[in-house]
Amino acid sequence: MTAVDVHGLTKRYGSKTVVDNLRLTIGKGQIVGFLGPNGSGKTTTIRMVCGLLTPDAGEGTVLGMDLIRDAPEIRREVGYMTQKFSFYEDLTIAENLQFVARLYGLRPVKSHVDAVLEDLGLTARRGELAGTLSGGWKQRLALAACVMHKPQLLLLDEPTAGVDPEARREFWDHIHTLAAGGITVLVSTHYMDEAERCNRISYILRGKLLVEGTPAEILTARGLSALALEGDGLDRIIGDLQQIKTVDQVTVLGNALHVVGHDAALLRQAVLPVAQRYGVTLRESTPTIEDVFIDLVQGSDGRR
């Protein structure tokens, strides 16, 4: 069963096409990572899916409802967490949630607020002013407000930007718990480790869908290979590696160079003499999701 099935989705602002003939399919209960550079159309797409923006073209269904005709009904069944913290900073956590509960017409208000405070681990902080919270706790408050009305679809727009690693991990634990309960999640993110925690990934660039699938499928389909160079004086090697045609990416990772190309045999054949010349160790490595997305951007820009 699909929670989101839209196609031909297009949005223009004047002469600029922000989302261009986009297709997006999300199965019920899935966590889908929505990736792409800044300005690629992620936020605009999310707002069209949740009924806040009317597309200039396209059709489909969200939670079994017509994307265009049933936009008001879709909005009631969706939880949308924006990039910017948008709650009253001079109200407490509980007061902000009481306000949201009244907006949704939830009764009794206290029961709904108490339940979501407990679910998100906010009960002990219910009396704290929202403006005094750290980024991680603000994020948790925003998530509580999104799920209090028990939506079927959760849309999260870069929810962990600027949040420390521990808070990000706790946030993702909550997301997986919600998905296990049947909620479908579409989350935009710039963090590759978060992308790998999703069931599926959709990557867009300049409003167009470039690739979609499970993380494993995307890695396999792109056909990348990787090597690692380890030793002293690695900074001297980078320039030489960048001159090799079979080398597409060179990245410093700690005390190693991560070297990526499309042909494993040719890559090793070209890089081995460089490693020997500089007296560093060469070993096999594993391509990452980040390598795939950099490769996609380079291919789209004609840099490869």
Using DSSP's 3-state secondary structure scheme, residue 269 falls into helix
Rounded-to-10 torsion of CA 3, 108, 47, 159:
-90
Domains 2-218 and 225-286 share a fold: no
Taking residues 257-282, what's their average pLDDT? 97
Contact 228, 283 (CB under 8 A): yes
How many angstroms separate the CA atoms of 223 and 119, rounded?
Answer: 42
| Structural tokens at position 239 | 């320039």
- Edge to edge, what strands does the sheet with 184-188 contain? 78-81, 153-157, 184-188, 31-35, 200-205, 208-213
Residue 98's pLDDT is: 98
Give the pLDDT confidence score for residue 301 in this predicted structure. Answer: 67
Question: According to the model, what pLDDT value does residue 304 have?
Answer: 58
* 264 band by pLDDT with thresholds 50, 70 and 90: very high
Structure tokens at 59: 């059709």
pLDDT at 303 over 80: no
Q: Name the pLDDT band for 76 (thresholds 50, 70, 90).
A: very high
DSSP string, 34-87: EE--TTSSHHHHHHHHTTSS--SEEEEEETTEETTTTHHHHHHTEEEE-SS--S
Residue 92 sits at φ, ψ, to 5 deg, of -75, 170
The predicted structure's pLDDT at residue 190: 81
Question: In terms of DSSP H, where are the helices of the chain?
Answer: 42-49, 71-76, 93-103, 109-119, 135-147, 165-180, 192-195, 215-222, 238-242, 264-278, 289-301
Residue at 129: amino acid letter: L
Q: Under CATH, which number does the domain 2-218 receive?
A: 3.40.50.300
Which fold would CATH assign to domain 225-286?
Alpha-Beta Plaits (3.30.70)
For residues 213 and 224, give the distance between their C-alpha atoms in angstroms, rounded to a whole number: 16
Question: What are residue 247's DSSP bridge partners?
Answer: none
Would you place residue 84 in the very low, low, confident or very high pLDDT band (cuts 50, 70, 90)? confident
Mean pLDDT of 158-171: 88
Residues 102-154 pLDDT 10s: 999 999 999 999 999 999 999 999 999 999 999 999 999 999 999 999 999 99
* CA distance linking residue 128 with residue 93, whole number of Å: 6
Give the distance, in angstroms, between the CA of residue 277 and the centroid of all CA atoms in the same chain: 41
What confidence tens digit (pLDDT) does each residue in 34-65 have?
A: 998 888 999 999 999 999 999 999 999 999 99
Each domain of the chain, given as residue ranges in start order, spans 2-218, 225-286
